[in-house]
């Protein structure tokens, strides 16, 4: 069965290490016969949630006119969501967190999703990077029946391109290829 895979790349650098892993994941997913789309968050306008409660209290669409609604609709429609981030100060990028915060109005419609996480950092200690995965888990704790299918840890990468010599490149491809 073909699955709809949505890859959210939150690197501020096109072709950065986490973005490169997204491309490899997508290549594997497509080779396995899945439909895949990557959204590069840096190219999108996503405003901060203002806490106005229009979406949650009044059950109306967010009044902000930006790209968040389109991305969130894609999240609702996807079977598989890949959330990729460089690790800054042991947490996800601001771009990813801003998008997650904007999911308030439709997060209850994100049911039975499969999730993969891609995290990259200059840090060599994978255990320290798990803090970022824990932050993603906080988002998933609000969803109905999510499943974490895998995590790619791109450790020891600081400068653009350093990921190309790391096992994470192959791991991202293989995880994408395993989607059924």
The side-by-side arrangement of strands in the sheet containing 80-86 is: 35-40, 4-9, 80-86, 114-120, 147-154
Number of separate domains in the chain: 1
Task: Flag whether pLDDT at 133 surpasses 90.
Answer: yes
Tell me what pLDDT residue 134 has: 96
Tell which residue, 3, 1, 2, 17, has the closest CA to residue 112.
3
Whole-prediction pTM:
0.96
Tell me what pLDDT residue 57 has: 87
pLDDT tens, 13-70? 999 999 999 999 999 999 999 999 999 999 999 999 999 999 988 888 899 999 999 9
Tell which residue, 78, 82, 85, 48, has the closest CA to residue 64.
48
Q: 68 by DSSP, 3-state: which? A: helix
Q: Which of 50-59, 66-75, 137-146 has the lowest mean pLDDT?
A: 50-59
Q: Are strands 4-9 and 35-40 parallel, antiparallel or unpaired?
A: parallel
Tell me what pLDDT residue 28 has: 99
Percent of the chain residues past pLDDT 70, beyond the cut: 100
Domain encompassing residue 62: 4-177
Tell me what pLDDT residue 43 has: 97
Residues with Cβ within 8 Å of 92's Cβ and at least 6 positions away in sequence, in order, are 10, 83, 85, 119, 132, 135, 136
Q: What is the CATH number of the domain that holds 16?
A: 3.40.50.360
User: Is 83:115 a contact under the CB 8 Å cutoff?
Assistant: yes
Taking residues 84-99, report their average pLDDT: 96
DSSP run (H or E) holding 94: helix 94-101
Taking residues 70-78, report their average pLDDT: 98
Within 10 A of 148 (CB to CB), how many other CB atoms are there? 13
């Amino acid at each position: 069965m073909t699955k709809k895979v949505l890859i959210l790349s939150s690197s501020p650098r096109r072709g950065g290490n986490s973005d490169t892993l997204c491309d490899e994941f997508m290549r594997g997913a497509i080779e396995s016969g899945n439909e895949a789309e990557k959204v590069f968050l840096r190219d999108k306008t996503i405003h901060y949630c203002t806490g106005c409660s229009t979406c949650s209290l009044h059950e109306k669409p967010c009044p902000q006119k930006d790209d968040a609604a389109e991305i969130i609709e894609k999240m609702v429609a996807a079977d598989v969501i890949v959330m990729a981030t460089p690790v800054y100060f042991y947490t996800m990028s601001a771009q990813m967190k801003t998008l997650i915060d904007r999911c308030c109005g439709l997060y209850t419609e994100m049911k039975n999703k499969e999730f993969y996480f891609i995290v990259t950092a200059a840090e060599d200690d994978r255990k320290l990077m798990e803090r970022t995965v824990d932050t993603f888990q906080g988002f998933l704790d609000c969803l109905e029946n999510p499943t974490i299918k895998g995590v790619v840890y791109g450790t020891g990468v600081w400068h653009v391109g350093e990921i190309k010599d790391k096992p994470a490149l192959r791991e991202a491809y293989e995880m994408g290829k395993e989607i059924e």
